[in-house]
Homo-oligomer: A and B are copies of this chain.
Amino acid sequence: MRQLLERIDREILTGGGKRSRSRAAVIERFFLERHHVTIEELTRSVRESAPRVGAVTVYRTLKLLERLGYAKELDFGEGAKRYESNLASHHDHLVCRKCGTVIEFENRDIEKLQERVTRRHGFQPTSHRLEIYGFCRKCAPGKAAEEVRCPR
């Protein structure tokens, strides 16, 4: 952890940036988070230990971490984006539409097939997103309130 923070600090320095307490607070909290967090959630968390940090700094710091390759931006269609550490290996997500639980999975076969698809189209892939929406074990009762068709 210490190692990581120092390494990021060094990268920022190298890039012409300066150290900052607020940013350090955001970065530390971010990597302590267990789940995929929104800016709002992370801001609340940061303020427990550094109450004066503004949400704008959280926005800026996460964009920075993303540019440096340490964070990943996610969008589960909730309105606000979520972020996760990009230190672990690549994975995709199962998102429960009822309770919001997110299950992570990794499937090399799917990734292989994706590569084949892109090759077939002369497409040079740089990233992808695969999200499967539905109901998790807890939230999948016999019949969920599925398709209610109504014009309004």
List the B residue with the shortest CB-CB distance to A128. B132
Contact A121 B137 (CB under 8 A): yes
Count class of interface residues, chain A: 35 or more
Is A136 an interface residue when CB atoms closer than 8 A count as contact? yes
Judge whether A152 is part of the interface by a CB distance below 8 angstroms: yes
State the CA gap A36–B110 with chains docked (Å).
25
A121-B133 contact given A75-B77, A149-B11, A151-B64, CB 8 Å threshold? no
List the B side residues contacting A122 at CB < 8 Å.
Answer: 136-137, 140
CB atoms of A134 and B118 under 8 A apart: yes
Closest to A137 in B: B122
Q: Which of B75, B94, B125 contacts A123 (CB 8 A)?
A: B94
Q: Do A117 and B136 have beta carbons less than 8 Å apart?
A: no
Shortest distance in angstroms between A140's beta carbon and chain B's nearest beta carbon? Answer: 4
Chain B, residue nearest A116 (CB): B107
